[in-house]
Amino acid sequence: MRNFKLMMVLTVAAMTAVSCGSKTEKQEAPKVLVLYYSQTSKTKVVAEEIANRLGADIEEIISIPPYDGDFDSTIARCMREREAGVLPEIQPLKTDLTQYDVVFLGYPVWFGTYAPPVTTFLKNNDLSGKKIVPFCTFGSGGLESSVKDLAEAQPKAEILPGYGVRAARLDAVPQEIDQFLKANGFLEGEYTKLDEFPEQHPVSDDEKAIFNTAVDGYPMLHAEAKTVASRTLPNGTEYLFTAVDLPRDDKPDMPPAGELQVYVTVADSAAPVFTKVIR
C-alpha cells in the first residue's frame, strides 16, 4: 500500500528476526478496510478520501430498505424503529472481515451516535483483536459520544483516535484527512502538531462576537459563550468556547442541555465557523 505506515499504532517491529538472528525479513503490512454507511453521500466523501490516501479496500454498508427519505422522514423512521426496539437489516458484506487488521469505520451521527445500520453491523460482527478507526460526519457533533458507544459494542477491539467533520465543512476534508492520517502514523510526511489550549478566561466582547457569528443560523445550537481559550493554527486561530445552552423560543418545553464545548475556527481573511460541539 502506497505511503502506508502503521508503526505508531501497531506494536510490531518493522523487521522480524529469524533463525539465529543473523537474518531479518520484512513483516507484511497490515491489511486495511474502509467500511462506511452513508445516506446522503457525505460520509462517502470522507471514506473515499481515506481509502484513496491509503490505497485501502473500501466497502459500503447498505441498509434494507434504504433510508432514502428527507430529513424529517428519516427522523420519523428512526423514531419508530427505536420505539419498537428494532434495527434495520443490512446487505451481507462482500469482503471477508477476517482478512483485515485495521478497519476504518465511517458513519453519519444520528441521535448522538452512529446511524442504525452501523448498529446492526456491530451487532452482527465480532471485531475482537482488530484496530478500529472511527470517522463520522455530523450536523454539530457526536464523534466523542459515538466512540464511547463503539467501545461498548466492541469491547475486545482497540478503538483508535477518530476523525469527525461537520457535513457543512466537506471542503475541509482533504486537508484535514491528510493531517489526521499523518498525525496518527498511517501516512508518512510532515504535519502540524497543535499546541494544547491554555487555561480559559471570560469571553471579551470581541470573542463573544466571534462565537455568535460562528453559530448564527444553526437551529440546533442556541447558546451563550462564557469562557474561551485559543491557539494558533497554520492559517488562523482556533477557539474553544465553554457555553451555556439557552431555552429555545420555538421549543419552550425542551430543557436546556447545560454546558457545551464549542470549537470555532477563524481562518485568515475568513468568517468564523464552528467545527464541532461536545455536549
What CA–CA distance (Å, rounded) separates 182 from 5? Answer: 9
Computed on alpha carbons and rounded to an integer, the radius of gyration of the chain in Å comes to: 21
For the entire predicted model, the pTM comes to 0.88
Q: What is the pLDDT of residue 14?
A: 40
**Predicted pLDDT at 66:** 94
pLDDT in 10s for each residue of the chain, 279 residues: 444 455 444 444 343 334 344 444 556 788 999 999 999 999 999 999 999 999 999 999 999 999 987 888 999 999 999 999 999 999 999 999 999 999 999 999 999 999 999 999 999 999 999 999 999 999 999 999 999 999 999 999 999 999 999 999 999 999 999 999 999 999 999 999 999 999 999 999 999 999 999 999 998 888 999 999 999 999 999 999 999 988 766 665 655 568 999 999 999 889 999 999 998
Question: Can you give the pLDDT at residue 220?
Answer: 83
pLDDT score recorded for residue 8? 47
Q: Is the dihedral of CA 169, 175, 181, 184 positive or negative?
A: negative
Cα 4 to Cα 75: distance, rounded to the nearest angstrom: 39
Structure confidence at residue 7 (pLDDT):
47
Return d(Cα 22, Cα 218) in angstroms, integer. Answer: 64
Residue-wise pLDDT tens digits, 159-203: 999 999 999 999 999 999 999 999 999 999 999 999 999 999 999
What is the Cα–Cα distance from 25 to 19, expressed in whole angstroms?
11
Residues 171, 188: Cα–Cα separation, whole Å? 23
What's the CA gap between 137 and 33, in Å, rounded?
A: 18
**DSSP of 230-246:** EEEETTEEEEEEEEEE-
